[in-house]
Amino acid sequence: MKLKNTLSIFLFFTAIGVVTQVDAQCKRFTQKNCLPALSPYTNNGQINSTTLYEGDSASMNMTFYSLLEYRLMVCTHPILGEGAFFRVKDDDGEILYSSEGKSPNYWDFRVNSTQDLRIDVVIPEDQERVTDMPPSGCVSIVLGFKE
Amino acid sequence: MIKSFRVLGILSISALVLLSCADENTNKNTDSIEENVTDEINISRSDKVQYQRAKIVLFSLPSPMETAKVLKKSGAIYDSKYLNPVENLDKHITSKGKAIVMGIYVADLSYANVFKQQQACMDYFSAMSKLADALSLSEVFTQDLIEKIDENISDEDSVLQYLAESYWRANSELKADDRESVAGLIAAGGWIEGLYIATHLADPEKMDDPVTERIAEQGATLKQLIKFLSSFRDDKNLLDIISDLETLEKLFDKIDVERVRVEPNIDEGGVAVVGKKKVYKFTGTLLKDIIDQTIIIRNKYV
């Protein structure tokens, strides 16, 4: 029992260490690879990043103002492959944009009225991968705005 | 039991490999670290499922910088009496109070900046710097950033960039430190102050005022904000602010919203224009009720 408790405490703090390291790596990745590409748009100052495995997806609802122009960018770590894409949907689920099969990792747009849109990021599974463990990497959704 | 220990063991080894890689060379990029992990450990797909999260849901709100720009474009004017004086900084003793007021100052600074109020910008940057120290945010207002702000305070675009940068640094540091609920309080403070400023610039008698429309639009953001804060339900620091926002939400829910489907098009600059057109309608004293409730909530936190 004592050994189990000691092991649990050790693993708890080790896991915290891992999470902190991964967050720091994701932050550096976003700072280096995503934020500079937002120019001439101003970053909205919010960090929306997470670590995804191949085959995972992430979603986010964001409010967009009608009087501003936006650049929505999704940066994925190269280890996740080139198949990653994002979709933007309105509140009825209608797809307004999909980056699937397109090369830029961003979309510039305006909205007719201020509204919430949902962004889905999909990391497809690599069917040709030979290893059993799918790779994981940082995914960041960054937003820039301008008048 | 054996399986649990196996998964825990794998996590532990992963952790040690990750930590040792990071210690050896902190400048290494994530490719090499992740590749080392996957090379050295052969985890089966069923084991992976044990600790892999399902679908990740992230939250995001319009920043106070966006709200200030939108207010100005809607015809708002500058009046410092609607802002929270920097002298109120010392009234806040708790981390919660400091976090909320930090958000309030981000909104005030954003508002002052779009109207090119240099002295106010300096004062609010200074207040935010003190709050960042008090909240142990050591990576936000570095000496380098403070010097750049001092040199470029007269340039609206530069100030906006530095504000966005400091906001990003604060959010990322809080995320890295597993203190995202503090980021939630900052976001809440910024949102409340933005709405408070807007309510003072709106004429409750004029329903077609663009600022009135900006207020109505905040209903969608409010729902996002409540969802975001509610994701930290265990944090008791957030309960009363969530309750305040829910009171306001009930009022926003009474606004009539007409949604009109519009075909996507491209504007003159070649940019896509998408989404529905929305028309808002306040009935009775609803706008005044929202304004009054906003003032009550905002004054509770300054």
Question: Where is A147: in which H helix or E strand?
Answer: none
Residue spans of alpha helices (H) in B177-285: 180-201, 210-230, 239-252
In a domain, B162, yes or no: yes
Q: Are B118 and B31 within one domain?
A: no
pLDDT tens digits along B194-241: 999 999 988 877 777 889 999 999 998 999 999 989 988 667 889 999
In a domain, B59, yes or no: no
Q: Are B16 and B99 within one domain?
A: no
Q: Are B27 and B139 within one domain?
A: no
pLDDT band for position B47 (50/70/90)? very low
CB contact under 8 A, B30 and A25: yes
Interface size A-B, in CB pairs within 8 Å, comes to 221
Q: Are B68 and B46 within one domain?
A: no
CB contact under 8 A, A145 and B35: no
More confident residue, B147 or A25: B147
Q: Which residue of B has its CA nearest to A95?
A: B275
In a domain, B161, yes or no: yes
For residue B77, give both structure tokens.
């004017």
Q: Are B42 and B104 within one domain?
A: no
Helices H, strands E: what count in chain B?
Answer: 12, 5
Mean pLDDT confidence for B41-57: 50
Mean pLDDT confidence for A78-96: 90
In a domain, B297, yes or no: yes
Tell me which residue range forms the domain holding B13: 2-51
Q: Taking a C-beta distance cutoff of 8 angstroms, is the pair B39, B14 a contact? A: no
Q: Taking a C-beta distance cutoff of 8 angstroms, is the pair B124, B193 a contact? A: no
Instruction: Quote the pTM value.
Output: 0.80
Q: How far is the alpha carbon of A61 from chain B, nearest alpha carbon, in Å?
A: 6
- Using CB atoms within 10 Å of the CB of residue A78, give its burial: 0 to 12 exposed, 13 to 18 middle, 19+ buried: middle
pLDDT of residue B46: 45
- Cα distance between residue B170 and residue B186, in whole Å: 10
Closest alpha carbon to B75 in B257, B248, B223, B206: B206
CB contact under 8 A, B60 and A62: yes
In a domain, B57, yes or no: no
Tell me: pLDDT of B44 over 80: no
In a domain, B106, yes or no: yes
B167-193 b/e with 16+ CB inside 10 Å = b? bbbbbbbbbbeebbbbbbbbbbbbbbb
Domain count, chain A: 1
Q: Are B192 and B85 within one domain?
A: yes
Tell me: pLDDT of A14 over 90: no
Mean pLDDT confidence for B88-101: 92
Tell me: pLDDT of B24 over 50: no
More confident residue, A114 or B175: A114
Chain B environment of A11 (Cβ under 8 Å): 8, 11-12, 15
In a domain, B186, yes or no: yes
Task: Return the residue in A68, A112, A130 with the most chain B beta carbons within 10 A, the one to mutate for interface testing.
Answer: A112
C-alpha A9, offset from chain centre:
31
Domain count, chain B: 2
Give backbone dihedrals phi and psi of A81, rounded to 5 degrees, phi first: 85, 180
Percent of chain B predicted with pLDDT > 90: 53
For residue B143, give both structure tokens.
């000496």
pLDDT of residue B70: 92
Q: Are B37 and B87 within one domain?
A: no
- Using CB atoms within 10 Å of the CB of residue A143, give its burial: 0 to 12 exposed, 13 to 18 middle, 19+ buried: buried
pLDDT tens digits along B55-75: 677 888 889 999 999 999 998
Q: Are B74 and B219 within one domain?
A: yes
Average pLDDT for chain B:
82
Q: How far is the alpha carbon of B25 from chain A, nearest alpha carbon, in Å?
A: 12
Residue B203 has, within 13 A of its CA and on its CB side, a CA count of: 10
- Cα distance between residue A18 and residue A29, in whole Å: 16
Chain B environment of A43 (Cβ under 8 Å): 164-165, 168
pLDDT band for position A104 (50/70/90)? confident
CATH number, domain with residue A102: 2.60.120.380
Considering only residues 42 to 61 of chain A, which have any Cβ-Cβ distance to chain B shorter than 8 Å?
A: 42-50, 52-53, 56-61
pLDDT of residue B107: 94
The one-character DSSP state at B139 is: T
CB contact under 8 A, A133 and B274: no
Residues 6+ apart with CB under 8 A from B4: none
- Cα distance between residue B76 and residue B191, in whole Å: 17
Which phi-psi region, left, alpha or beta, contains residue A118 (left: φ > 0; alpha: ψ -120 to 50)?
beta
Q: What is the residue whose two structure tokens read 């609802």? A: A61
pLDDT band for position A20 (50/70/90)? low
Q: Taking a C-beta distance cutoff of 8 angstroms, is the pair B127, B86 a contact? A: yes
Peptide bond into A40 cis (omega under 30): yes
The dihedral through the CA atoms of B251, B254, B255, B259 has a sign that is positive
Q: Taking a C-beta distance cutoff of 8 angstroms, is the pair B61, B187 a contact? A: yes
Tell me: pLDDT of B1 over 60: no
pLDDT of residue B61: 84
- Cα distance between residue B206 and residue A4, in whole Å: 68
Q: Are B7 and B88 within one domain?
A: no
Name, of A80-89, A112-121, B169-178, B226-235, the range with top average pLDDT. Answer: A112-121
In a domain, B91, yes or no: yes
Closest alpha carbon to A110 in A94, A130, A79, A88: A88
**What interface predicted TM-score (ipTM) does this complex get?**
0.81
Q: Are B7 and B137 within one domain?
A: no
Q: Are B19 and B125 within one domain?
A: no
Q: Are B45 and B156 within one domain?
A: no
